[in-house]
Amino acid sequence: MTPTITPERLEAAYQAALEALLKERHPEGYWVGELSTSALSTATAVMALWMAGKHQPDAREPEARARALIAGGLQWLADHQNDDGGWGDTTKSFSNIATTMLCRAAFYLTESVSRFELTVNRTEQWLFAKYGNTPAQLAEAVRARYGKDRTFAVPILTTCALAGLIPWSEVPPLPFELAIFPQSWFRLLRLHVVSYALPALIAIGQCIYHHKKPWNPFTRIIRALSRKRSLRVLERIQPSNGGFLEATPLTSFVVLSLAACGLAGHNVTRKGVDFIVNSVRHNGCWPIDTNLSTWVTTLSINALSAAAELDTLPKREKVRDWLLAQQFRERHPYTGSAPGGWSWTPLPGAVPDADDTPGALLAIGALGSPPFDVSKYYRDTAGYDPAYNVAAKNWVYAMANGIEWLVSLKNRDGGWPTFCRGWGTLPFDRSGNDLTAHALRAIHSWSERLGKALDADHDAAWERYGPDVTFWFDASSVFAYLSLTQRPDGAWLPLWFGNQHAPNDENPTYGTARVLAAYRDLGMMNEEPARRGVAWMLAAQNADGGWGGAPHTPSSMEETALAVEILVDAVRGEGIGARGEEVNKGLAWLVQQVEQGGLYNPSPIGFYFAKLWYYEKLYPIIFTVAALGRARCLLKQSLASASG
């Protein structure tokens, strides 16, 4: 029997979620959020601090502050070991070989095995039973986890070699000499690391070269001659705060590797150490990244928009201006990306990408134009204050630059990659369904609005953008890509989200919901791919009424809210069928979870770089506001129609 959700219960649950979301706002109007703690980050940070301190000139051990952080990090690892003896990426994650190998290496590298003998023994029992008890077997298990992608396998193996746990012969080399080529060449060089891993390529490649010279004399000479030049590249792309991508693991691998090949006093190493020291949390551990502030802000604004709540949002102008200020206005030194995009955080280590840029464009569009009538300028400039005209014009062109940035990033296959166009050979560089659908929604939302404005300012727009001043955009190739990548069962897979309970760690619930949002926004929910996607979503519902990442996986707040948000609209579409019972069950599950405190129980559904799991405390709150808010609006419309 379908549970009954009264309007009163729905309203109360929605108001609880809304209150929780607004309570998390920064005084300036944006959101910061909080990423999960990470055993992997903590292990790599501890090892980086140890190695940097040990190899400082005339230093036999790290200085006092670093020693305290190392001791605290090791204790945190011991206290948060899983029952089976391994570690996962978060405290809610299953044990995996990557994190467990790094945690084990941390105890060995820091010469702390005797102090944590029980912890290390339990770790080795788990590893040896599951993967084999020889260094060769363990190294092969690490390589098998990542396949052709050396982005994370090689850093793990390098760290284990430095800790004396595997021989250097098990560590594949990295061609760091390729880093001296122009950035535009990288996609043609078929690197074994992904686009965002250039710092790892340079630092870890040099560390491997230092400990294991290539047998080929020509390669040996080339790498010897490339050391200083590639280090200059590394120094040039390092952010001002020292943190590459604001990521503790990547920064730690760079520090660890440089220190291990005699460069503990190098400027890159010192700045990296500063970042690691400044990133530790009060309980002695490190997160996977500093924060996702821009991303969770755009998610929050777009959720409030779905709930028709933006008109009452305090400080909406402040948050709009804050988002506008996060747009990159210069070519990025790290990826070579053109101006116009947005990243996941306003901090120095971030880079623009194809998920945060459409999120920002949609959020800014939902918040509305600045407090001046842009249309006045474009109808008739005579008689208006020039400064007023310039402000209006700059705002429109900022949005146009964002759309241009997105359009220029589209791959030939019709989809969008994350950072760099045309790489595509390794998993996290390929086009992604979630990114593609997000980009399509943003372009569609702005095309008509910008087209009119730019046409009105035709001469300047022609000079800036060429003949395509209306941003006419052919969505057919994008929908062709989405149709081609749809699974036979009707689902789509995302690139940056997963579920540890699902086969192959995939999350078709997230991917399908995000793609269906694009079909919804473009009025194409009755197209065959969308119909099949809705049918899959309905069939994937659990018996309890909720959704997990895939059929027959535990229901979560995040995934249920994503499913409900898209289905409350989808089941009303002509030809899709009246499936209100399933939606009501989903709403009932979601409302019940809110009533039981589920807003504060995030699930590890996020993939960070190289398949590192994370959870974000705002995700269940944000997604629930969007789902319950949309259902609430539709209920009000239905009641109004009935009374009318």
Element (H, E) at 287: strand 286-287
CA distance 396 to 543: 48
List C-alpha distances in Å: 553 to 129, 177, 386, 541, 607.
Answer: 27, 45, 59, 10, 18
Contact by Cβ (8 Å): 291, 345: yes
- Can you give the pLDDT at residue 147? 78
CATH class of 37-287: mainly alpha
CATH class of 12-35+291-311+489-644: mainly alpha
- Can you give the pLDDT at residue 457? 54
CA distance 620 to 638: 27
On the CB side of 343, how many CA atoms lie within 13 Å of its CA? Answer: 22
Give the residue-averaged pLDDT of 404-421: 88
| Domain 12-35+291-311+489-644 identical in fold to domain 37-287 | yes
Q: What tens digit of pLDDT does each residue of 42-68 get? A: 999 999 999 998 866 555 556 778 889
Give the residue-averaged pLDDT of 552-572: 92
Contact by Cβ (8 Å): 241, 346: no
Quick one: which of 14, 111, 117, 122 has its CA closest to 70?
111
Quick one: which of 601, 628, 629, 597 has its CA closest to 616?
601
Q: Specify the 3-state DSSP secondary structure of 374.
A: helix
- Can you give the pLDDT at residue 639? 53
Quick one: which of 525, 518, 631, 515 has its CA closest to 582?
631
| Cα dihedral: 531, 536, 542, 543 (round 10) | 70
On the CB side of 279, how many CA atoms lie within 13 Å of its CA? Answer: 35
Q: What tens digit of pLDDT does each residue of 286-336 get? A: 999 999 999 999 999 999 999 999 988 888 888 988 999 999 988 888 777
With a CB cutoff of 8 Å and minimum separation 6, the contacts of 189 are 178, 181
Give the residue-averaged pLDDT of 449-456: 60
Buried b / exposed e over 399-423, threshold 16 CB at 10 Å, is bbbbbbbbbebbbebbbbbbbbbeb
Q: 580-595 and 557-570 are packed helices; what angle lies between their axes, rounded to 10 degrees?
A: 150
Answering whether pTM is above 0.85, one says yes
pLDDT at 637 over 60: yes
Burial class (CB in 10 A: 0-12, 13-18, 19+), 253: buried
CA distance 207 to 203: 6
Quick one: which of 20, 34, 613 has its CA closest to 283?
34
In the chain, the percentage of residues whose pLDDT exceeds 70 is: 84
| Band of residue 424 on the pLDDT scale cut at 50, 70, 90 | low
Residue 338 has what DSSP assignment? Answer: P
Q: What tens digit of pLDDT does each residue of 339-353 get? A: 899 999 999 999 999
Strands 606-608 and 612-614: antiparallel
Contact by Cβ (8 Å): 124, 104: yes
What is the phi/psi pair of residue 188, to 5°?
-90, -10
Number of H helices, E strands in the chain: 24, 4
- What's the chain's length in residues? 644
Could you tell me the two tokens for 526? 């009755």
CA distance 626 to 564: 9
**Domain range summary for the chain, segments of one domain joined by +:** 12-35+291-311+489-644, 37-287, 326-485
- Can you give the pLDDT at residue 451? 62
- Can you give the pLDDT at residue 336? 79
With a CB cutoff of 8 Å and minimum separation 6, the contacts of 515 are 433, 434, 436, 437, 482, 486, 492, 533
Burial class (CB in 10 A: 0-12, 13-18, 19+), 24: middle
